[in-house]
A and B are shown apart, each in its own frame.
Chain A
Amino acid sequence: DTAVSQTPKYLVTQMGNDKSIKCEQNLGHDTMYWYKQDSKKFLKIMFSYNNKELIINETVPNRFSPKSPDKAHLNLHINSLELGDSAVYFCASSSIDTGNNEQFFGPGTRLTVL
């Protein structure tokens, strides 16, 4: 029944490690996104993928790389983690065909870098 799912929900890791966050949507949407929400609750878009093509890349360090094996998945890979990467990461999806054009969000992944 879950529309947009993310795993893991919590991720605690050491500085310098490489980690991945997975996202899947079963809504048949054609566009998926990754957002970062910092400790002050500010939400900023990182990436947008439409039909396997990156269409937005907001001045995000190249340590972050989105990977989309198919239309239903958009995973986020992070290399050489830094303390400042600690945040909540949200995956979202949308479709041009949805009436309100709203984005459906996953539950978020809280990443803590020690």
Chain B
Amino acid sequence: AQKITQTQPGMFVQEKEAVTLDCTYDTSDQSYGLFWYKQPSSGEMIFLIYQGSYDEQNATEGRYSLNFQKARKSANLVISASQLGDSAMYFCAMRDLLRDDMRFGAGTRLTVKP
């Protein structure tokens, strides 16, 4: 069974600094996708970034980048130049692309300090 682990229940970062949110996963599948979602206090789920298991380069989307280390089964999210609006819950998720089965980690609450 797939398992997603986010070991940081809460993180603090100073505005304008970079922060790394950890995510490790456990799967025996060869074909899968890794996702990060942001959930602000308003409650909606916002897609941030995606990494395919066969992608050789780390994904980047604006200030978001995904540090993908396949051998270590980790997919950490790096947010550069943090902004106050980045304060939210962040969820790591993995999707088995063949079975279309998506599992989420427990989430990390990020607080950006002014």
A101-B33, A102-B35 given; A41·B97 CB < 8 A:
no
How many positions in chain B have a CB within 8 Å of any CB in the partner chain? 22
Closest to B61 in A: A100
- Chain A neighbourhood of B33, CB < 8 A: 100-101
Chain A 46-101 interface residues, beta-carbon cutoff 8 Å to B: 48, 50, 55-56, 88, 90, 92, 94, 100-101
- Chain A neighbourhood of B91, CB < 8 A: 43
Chain B 31-88 interface residues, beta-carbon cutoff 8 Å to A: 33, 35, 37, 39, 43-45, 47, 50, 52
Q: How far is the CA of A92 from the CA of B100 in the complex (A)?
A: 13
Q: Please pick, from B44, B45, B97, B104, the residue contacting A101 in the complex, using a CB distance under 8 A.
A: B97
Inter-chain contact B101/A88, CB cutoff 8 Å: no
From A11-19, A20-28, A103-111, the one touching the partner chain is A103-111
Tell me if B102 counts as interface (CB < 8 A to partner A): yes
A43-B91, A43-B104 given; A105·B45 CB < 8 A:
yes
Inter-chain contact B43/A107, CB cutoff 8 Å: yes
Interface of B is mostly: strand
A31-B100, A41-B89, A41-B107 given; A105·B44 CB < 8 A:
yes
Inter-chain contact A56/B101, CB cutoff 8 Å: yes
Tell me if A113 counts as interface (CB < 8 A to partner B): no
Inter-chain contact B44/A107, CB cutoff 8 Å: yes
- Chain A neighbourhood of B106, CB < 8 A: 40-42
- Chain B neighbourhood of A45, CB < 8 A: 101-103
Tell me, rounded to whole Å, the shortest Cβ–Cβ distance linking B98 to chain A: 11
User: Contact residues of B with A, CB < 8 Å?
Assistant: 33, 35, 37, 39, 43-45, 47, 50, 52, 89, 91, 95, 97, 99-104, 106-107
User: Contact residues of A with B, CB < 8 Å?
Assistant: 31, 33, 40-45, 48, 50, 55-56, 88, 90, 92, 94, 100-105, 107-108, 110
